[in-house]
Structure formats: structure tokens, C-alpha cells
Amino acid sequence: MTTLTFRGTGDSMGVPRVYCDCEVCGEARTGGVNRRLRSSLQIEDEQAGTVWIDCGPDWGAQMQAAGLRQIKTMLVTHAHFDHIGGLVEWADACRWTGERGTAYVPEEVIPEILARFPWLSRHIDFLPFESALRLGSWSVTSWRVHHGKNGYAYAFRFAHLATGFCWAYCSDAIGLTDEQQQPLYGLDLLILGTSFYKEPFAYETRSVYDVVEAIELTAKWGASRTLLTHMSHDIDLRRDYALPARMSFAYAGLEVRL
């Protein structure tokens, strides 16, 4: 049995955005439904234990919300601050508990992280995540995806060795090539990042898909269910966007039992 719990569903700045007085940020500021910490996912697996995807700067608050004191295993998608800022705090936790952490990270991302935070390797083992990784009954693979003007990220695909159930996490991506889209076909569950409903900015300035694109792509990919994450203040969870039946917005605390 595996349970996924969303611990953050926000984009790089989270919601509310510190500088912003828009309606959605205002609602979020008063503790409303649009309050979104930086994106991360908690995986609870009866064999693999607790594994998180990404460790942004809200990690400490997210651990509080999860009722956890320490975790041993982390998967990291890419070296943007909203996905790695909490590694500093996690390394401190590892130091004080005397338990080394293990982070599985795509090989080219490891030097990017350690260039910024060189001391992390004193308390965390960074292991290259290139070939398939076994986590409990899941075989996990990683692949590189375009991240628009922000460069690249990785996405992860989890295939259950006994049941064949497949799900994927792809929070920071846009303009995927046909090859990069291949692992996203025929999923039982897709977790996809969409910062805006319909992003108004020029394509070359963008870095994450929007909801309108997600509707089109997931129809093509044939996901049985899609949950959207990595959302900016453009998405107002009080609104009815008339999403397709098998697509919904994720929110902090949402649990999915696999």
C-alpha cells in the first residue's frame, strides 16, 4: 500500500506572493484555500517508508503539517531554489539526529546543488538517479524534460512491479519533445505542473505548462487521472474551471491511495 500526500502545490514563489495584492493572494493571506507552499509530494510506502519528492524552502512547515520529525530519503527533480531550498534545513536535521539522508538526484543536477550548498554532502548522500531505482515495490525511472526559459528539469515515473499501476510526477515542464512525452502515455495517474490557467506571456518567456495545454496533452496521453500542481496565484481554487472529469487541482493535504 502506498499513499501520496501533497505537501505543497505552489509555484516558485508560492501563494500568496510576497509582493502581490491580487485577490487570490489576499484570500491566501487570510488562510484561505489558495494558500500554497512550494511544490512537494510525500510518498508513504509500507516497504520503502517515507520518501519525498523535492525539498523546497517550505520543507520545515511541510514536515510540521505531516507530523514528521525526520525523513531518510528524498528524490530531487532539479536544482531550482523552490525545489531544493529546504535541503539546507534537512541537512541540519540529519546533523542533529545523526542520521544521514539519502537523496537520489539526476547525475547532472548533483554538482549544481553542491555548487550552491557545498556543505550538504557532510550529512546527505547524493546518489545519481540515472538507471531505474527500486523503492519498495516500485521501479522508478527519471528522464530529462524541457523547462522552457528556466532550462531543464527531470520527471519521475513509478511502475508497480506487481500490479503494473503507473504514475508520474512532472512538476516543471513545457514544450516536451515527442521522446520526452513517451513515459507520460497511458498512466493511471499523472501529477503535472501548471502555473497558470492560460498563461498570457510570450512562449519563450515561459517555463511550465498551463491548464489549457494540460487539458489537451492529457487527452492525448490518455491518463486515467490527472492532478495539477505547481500553481501560481493565477489559479483560484474557489472558481469552477469546468476541468475534464478525470482532472483536478491538487491541494496541500490531499491524499491519494494507490
**Footprint of Zn ion (CB under 5 A):** 12, 80, 82, 172
Give the nearer residue to Zn ion in terms of CB position, either 35 or 123.
35
Closest separation in Å from C-beta 69 to Zn ion? 26
Measured from the CB atom, the residue of 101 and 148 that comes closer to Zn ion is 148
Alpha-carbon distances of 111 from 36, 38, 51, 127, rounded to whole Å: 29, 23, 22, 11
How far is Cα 51 from Cα 135, in angstroms, rounded to an integer?
Answer: 9
Least distance in angstroms from the C-beta of 50 to Zn ion: 22
Nearest residue to Zn ion, scored by beta-carbon proximity: 80
**Which residues, other chains included, contact 64 with Cβ-Cβ below 8 Å and sequence gap of 6+?**
none
- Shortest reach from residue 96's CB to Zn ion, in Å: 28
Residue 140 CB contacts under 8 Å (≥ 6 apart), including other chains = 75, 132, 133, 134, 156, 157, 158, 159
Please state the φ and ψ torsions of residue 190, each to the nearest 5 degrees.
Answer: -120, 130
Minimum CB separation of residue 250 from Zn ion in Å reads: 14
Task: Count other C-beta atoms under 10 Å from residue 26's C-beta.
Answer: 14
Residue 245 CB, shortest distance to Zn ion, in Å, is 27
Smallest distance, Å, CB 12 to Zn ion? 5
What would the grid cell of residue 237 be?
A: 481554487
Q: Which residue number, 82 or 210, has a Cβ lying nearer to Zn ion?
A: 82
| Residue 180 exposure: Cα atoms within 13 Å on the Cβ side | 17
For Zn ion, which is the closer residue by CB, 80 or 144? 80
In this complex, which beta carbon is closest to Zn ion, that of residue 153 or of residue 184? Answer: 153
Residue 114, burial from CB neighbour count under 10 angstroms (0-12, 13-18, 19+): middle
The CA distance from 40 to 242, in Å, is: 25
Name the residue among 31, 67, 72, 35 with its Cα closest to residue 55.
72
Least CB distance to Zn ion at residue 77 (A): 8
Report the residue number, 11 or 27, with the smaller CB distance to Zn ion: 11
Residue 27 or 82 with smaller CB distance to Zn ion: 82
